[in-house]
Amino acid sequence: MKISLGCKPLAIPSPVWVIGSYGSCAQPNIMVASWGSICCTTPACVAVSLKVSRATYANIVEHQAFTVSVPSRDFLFETDFIGNVSGVSVNKFSATGLTAVRSNVVDAPYVQEFPLIMECSLLHMLEIGSHTQFIGQVMDVKAEEEVLGENGLPSAEKISPLIGSAGERAYYSIGKWLGQAQLVNNWLAENLFTCERLADGADIDFGNLEFGNLPLVTPDCFKARKS
């Protein structure tokens, strides 16, 4: 039975991003933001929402740029510290022992030790209410070679990023790989929802199915049922 929780932004999970910017006298600063996401493919853009009271807010407005550093679970304690102190009174890089690197494409720093970086030029600002959304055009992505998958792109499993749960104000890590989205979708579209065996809500045995030359790896919980 569903219980109404009211009008709250309880999307789960949310990313745990470390936003880099320059403050006064080119002082590098970082903060943790979870109100963020991909928002456009062409041009490549991400969005992050901040309160006007945050030092990062003024920094981004002044320098028209920010970075997104994605921490792995190995940096849980450093990330939590970054999210709980103000850059106005504390040099978070010095306090955590992390290394600030000046981006070569935008006017903002990023965290050297974190495996995935997005360097963004400010494209739009939208005042929503308690938060202002900053939309950044991704000018470059930098990733450690060891976190790249076979396709040459970042692998969530190899990065092992932190994720957040808004209602709990808690950190989690990702679970196991379940399957390739396009691989599974294609098979479902062609076979699953037209299969007569679903007429009575019967389960489908995925055990030995293959799609093209690739095996269809089945998670334990993956059961097909009548739509």
For 155-168, the pLDDT digits (tens) are 999 999 999 998 89
Residue 110: pLDDT over 90: yes
In the chain, what are the domains? 14-173 (2.30.110.10), 181-215 (no CATH)
Residue 24: pLDDT over 50: yes
Residue 181 CB-half CA count within 13 A: 0
What pTM does this model have? 0.82
Sign of CA dihedral 90, 94, 98, 99: positive
Percentage of the chain lying above the pLDDT 70 cut: 80
Percentage of the chain lying above the pLDDT 90 cut: 72
The more confident residue out of 216 and 9 is 9
The four Cα atoms 36, 41, 42, 43 give a dihedral, to 10 degrees, of 30
Residue located via tokens 């000046």: 102
Phi-psi region of 179 (alpha: psi -120 to 50; beta: other; left: phi over 0): left
The more confident residue out of 51 and 185 is 51
193: confidence class by pLDDT, cuts 50, 70, 90: low
Of 73, 152, 80, the residue nearest 114 (C-alpha): 73
pLDDT of residue 88: 84
Dist. CA 61–CA 48, nearest whole Å: 13
The β-bridge partners of 211 are 214
Residue 138 CB-half CA count within 13 A: 20
The β-bridge partners of 154 are 148
pLDDT of residue 180: 76
Amino acid (one-letter) located at 113: E
pLDDT of residue 102: 98
Whether the Cβ atoms of residue 40 and residue 47 lie closer than 8 Å to each other: no
pLDDT of residue 183: 62
Residue 202: pLDDT over 70: no
Amino acid (one-letter) located at 193: F
The more confident residue out of 89 and 104 is 104
pLDDT of residue 2: 95
Residue 198: pLDDT over 60: no
**Average pLDDT of span 87-105:** 94
Dist. CA 57–CA 133, nearest whole Å: 10
Per-residue pLDDT of 54-71, as tens digits, reads 999 999 999 999 999 999
The β-bridge partners of 22 are 28
